[in-house]
Amino acid sequence: MNKIFIILLFLGTFHLGLAQQAKLLIEFGGAYNQARSEGYLQPNAVQTQHLKSPKIQPQIGVGLSPHSYVGVSYNLTKQKEIYTSKFENEVYTANERKETVEKTNAFGVFYRYYFMPFNKTRWNTFAEVNPSYQLTKAHDAVMSTTQNHESFYGSSTVQASSRRQKAIDIDIKVGASYRIANNFHAQLSIRSLANVKHTFSNSYSTTDEQKETSYRFFTSPLSNTYLSLLFSI
């Protein structure tokens, strides 16, 4: 009789724990990076570089335990980089502008582990692994102009190209979570602490060079810092 009572008590406690556990996580986050630099290669040669990169990532996960969640994710990254250079002397002035626009769609799954039972404490930390399938499209444009000061003769050239890339990416991130209200959490995470990327299709490369695997660790922590809002049910 005592054994039956202990078993029933254990089952009741386990069921109560599951009932109190958040079953579903809905998270929306992103990051925005912007940088500008300017330098002189020579007294009469100046270069500038301007970079913008917005990123968004929604995720939906289900609970396996008070610590563990699995789900699906989507990541959209857009990057626009503009590079300009100007060279001027007594004879002529030369200008060049290079613009690269890159867009990456990533469809993946994730496993997240909270080091404290989720939603039991105000503060929490977690680690996450996120394999994804990536599709990247990029467009490059280069415009060059030359102007002669004496003859006022000028010339200009424009070149444009595009490329596509397909890859499998595995990313590891860590983060911190803060409960701001019932069922609402603010999270700050750093991606690409460790990253493995296998490119199996690249239209910019030859057939023999299309497959490539890269390994990266602690890549640009500031540009890979995401802020998100999480809702739990």
Residue 205's pLDDT band, with cuts at 50, 70 and 90, is: low
Question: H or E element: which one contains 6?
Answer: helix 2-20
pLDDT at position 155, please? 87
Q: Rank 26-30, 39-43, 202-206, 213-217 by mean pLDDT and report only the highest.
A: 26-30
Percent of the chain with pLDDT over 90: 68
Of 223, 121, 106, nearest to 169 by C-alpha is: 106
pLDDT at position 41, please? 74
Of 77, 83, 85, 82, nearest to 29 by C-alpha is: 77
At the topology level of CATH, where does 2-232 sit? Porin (2.40.160)
Q: In this structure, what token pair is assigned to residue 89?
A: 């002397």
Residue 117's pLDDT band, with cuts at 50, 70 and 90, is: very high
Euclidean distance between CA atoms 15 and 20, whole angstroms: 9
Rounded to two decimals, the pTM is: 0.81
pLDDT tens figures, 133-172: 999 999 999 999 998 888 778 888 999 999 999 999 999 9
* Contacts with 56 (C-beta within 8 Å, 6 or more apart), sequence order: 28, 29, 30, 75, 76
Q: In this structure, what token pair is assigned to residue 223?
A: 């540009």
Residue spans of the domains in the chain: they are: 2-232
Q: Is the pLDDT of residue 129 over 90?
A: yes
pLDDT at position 198, please? 95
Q: How much helix, strand and coil, in percent to the nearest 5, is found in the chain? A: 10, 75, 20
Q: Is the pLDDT of residue 228 over 90?
A: yes
Map residue 153 onto helix, strand or coil: coil
Q: In this structure, what token pair is assigned to residue 227?
A: 């802020």
Largest CA distance in the chain: 108
Q: What is the mean pLDDT of the chain?
A: 88
Q: Do the Cβ atoms of 143 and 129 come closer than 8 Å? A: no
